[in-house]
Structure 1
Amino acid sequence: MARPATGSPAIDLFATDAVSGLGIAAVYLAVLAGAFAQASTGIGLGLVAAPVMAIVDPALVPGPILLLAIGLSVMVAWRDRAAVDRPALAAALAGRLPATAAGVLTVAVLPADWFLALFAAILLAAIALSVAGWRARRTRTGMVVAGAASGYMGTVTGVGAPPMAIVFQHGRGAQVRGTLGAYFLVGSSLSVVALWAVVGGARADILVALQLAPAVLLGYLMSYPARRIVDAGLLRPAILVICTGSALVLLARALA
């Protein structure tokens, strides 16, 4: 996928000499798998799809993947709207807003790579404590902290879901998916607006996201029967596995 001189992603995914059809197929499959995971458990789109998209064409992240996340979050939040934990959502968003601004300032001053290993270590420690029996409390203060950690990590590294997911790992399936969907809808919208304000590229990002939208829709539809399986006792293990994958992705990027 050749990038134009402006640094924006190729507007037509199918009109490129830089990447074979195999690369384009890999992007579609990664988006499909990530959308399926997130619509089933509450997280997964960024973790699964973003690394593949970055390998195929670095300009495909973060703009198009943020737009895809917004679209998926709208569908998930609407589907599970009755189960959204509104007080927890409000507290998490209150923590995210200033943390996002802090993340922007951090990236402007220091290389993001400095934080990858640190965040990975913190995540792995939280996962280990969870497996050992520690249970994060979903108090107002706890949600503000989780929202702040998510916003800061997401801004600095592009991986922000795990802090919120760890706090919600013991929740009911619909509650987890609906609340996280609403949270990521607002968070991703803020991030993409800030991105366009700083570096531009809105038109190209939108057109690429539209071409990948069918994969998101298919992944979302596939999640309907999967939710029953996940909600039967697999939600917490799935969240911990995905969070572990996030930590390992951060660690691999730090070592690279």
Structure 2
Amino acid sequence: MTAWLDPTILALGLAVGLGAFVQSSIGFGIAVVSAPVIVVVEPQLMPVSLMVCAIFLPCVQLASGPREVSWRPLGWSLVARLLATPFGVLIVAATSADAIALIVGVLILITVAVSVRAVDVRPTRGSMLAAGAISGVSGTAASIGGPFMALAMQHEPPHRLRSTLAVFFIGGTGVSLVGLALAGQVSTEQLQAGLTWWPFVVAGHLAAGPVRSRLDARVLRRVVLTFCVVASLGVITRTLL
């Protein structure tokens, strides 16, 4: 049996597909939902395999949906991500798979804490620079960068938020992948796993389309955040023990 048909990799594709469904519904979520599962089952695949999906999904979103982008905030955030990416590359190069798993768990708990607090952030130059810089480090080290951008742009209309985040993910994740490749941190196994999950990404995105307008975004958000808390605590406990 080839690695393309490895049952473990295919099973992880279901988690990636669920993450794609969530991201296509609320703007982010593919890494937040699927990363805890991947780091428990196949930690050596992180973060590159998930980045391969994180750069593919927004391409699908932009090809099949509205493309109304807030270009000025996006520009500031991409500049900051570019400058901060080397720090994320350094973390990946200098730490083990268990350390990456611990980073994922902690970042997801921070994401949940930020998401549930009524913090009124506007997409100013300063907030977008900060969100881009944080995403440059966390998105490169653990493939989780969307929630911080979503927080900074929380007052944008949903379609504009999704489109702007999609362009940010394409540019930012591309920069991170190039940085990791130059540092020798990209393996064939990771790339192959990420490519294997592409059909699951498409399926998750297509499943979100018909139900997006009927979904109660608040209920979905609560379910996702609850899952993330439980999963991240499990990841942290497993890593420490």
Do Structure 1 and Structure 2 share a fold, with TM-score over 0.5? yes
Cα distance change, pair 193–239 in 1 and its aligned pair in 2 (3 A): farther
Offset of residue 186 of structure 1: 1.0
Offset of residue 82 of structure 1: 3.0
Matched, 1:161 2:146: yes
* Corresponding position of 2:86: 101
Deviation readout 1:133-190 (Å, 9 max, x if unpaired)? x311111211111111122222333322211122223322211111111111111111
Matched, 1:59 2:47: no
Q: Is the 8 A contact 2:106 2:236 kept in 1?
A: no
Matched, 1:86 2:54: no
Q: Is the 8 A contact 2:84 2:134 kept in 1?
A: yes
Deviation readout 1:198-218 (Å, 9 max, x if unpaired)? 236565444433332211111
Q: Is the 8 A contact 1:120 1:248 kept in 2?
A: no
Q: Scaled by the length of structure 2, what TM-score is found? A: 0.79
Q: Is the 8 A contact 1:119 1:247 kept in 2?
A: no
CA distance in 2, matches of 1:46, 1:29: 13
* Corresponding position of 1:13: 4
Q: 1:129 aligns with which of 117, 120, 139?
A: 117
SS in 1 for 2:183: helix
Offset of residue 78 of structure 1: 3.6
What RMSD over aligned residues (CA atoms) do the two structures have, in Å? 3.1
Q: 1:1-256 counterparts in 2 under 5 A? A: 12-14=3-5, 21=7, 23-106=8-91, 119=107, 122-130=110-118, 134-199=119-184, 201=186, 203-230=188-215, 234-235=216-217, 238=220, 242=224, 246=228, 249-250=231-232, 252-255=234-237, 256=239
* Corresponding position of 1:5: none
Cα distance change, pair 140–85 in 1 and its aligned pair in 2 (3 A): same
Q: What percent identity do the matched residue pairs reach?
A: 31
How many residues get paired?
235
CA distance in 2, matches of 1:118, 1:59: 18
Query: What letter matches 1:149 in structure 2?
Result: I
* Corresponding position of 1:7: none
Q: Is the 8 A contact 1:162 1:246 kept in 2?
A: no
CA distance in 1, matches of 2:158, 2:190: 32
Q: Is the 8 A contact 1:100 1:152 kept in 2?
A: yes
CA distance in 1, matches of 2:174, 2:91: 20
Offset of residue 247 of structure 1: 6.2
CA distance in 2, matches of 1:31, 1:87: 31
Query: What letter matches 1:174 in structure 2?
Result: H
* Larger-gyration structure (1/2): 1
The unaligned stretches of length 5 or more in structure 2 are none
Q: Scaled by the length of structure 1, what TM-score is found? A: 0.75
Offset of residue 109 of structure 1: 5.9
Q: Is the 8 A contact 2:32 2:228 kept in 1?
A: yes
Deviation readout 1:68-101 (Å, 9 max, x if unpaired)? 2111111213444531111111111112111212
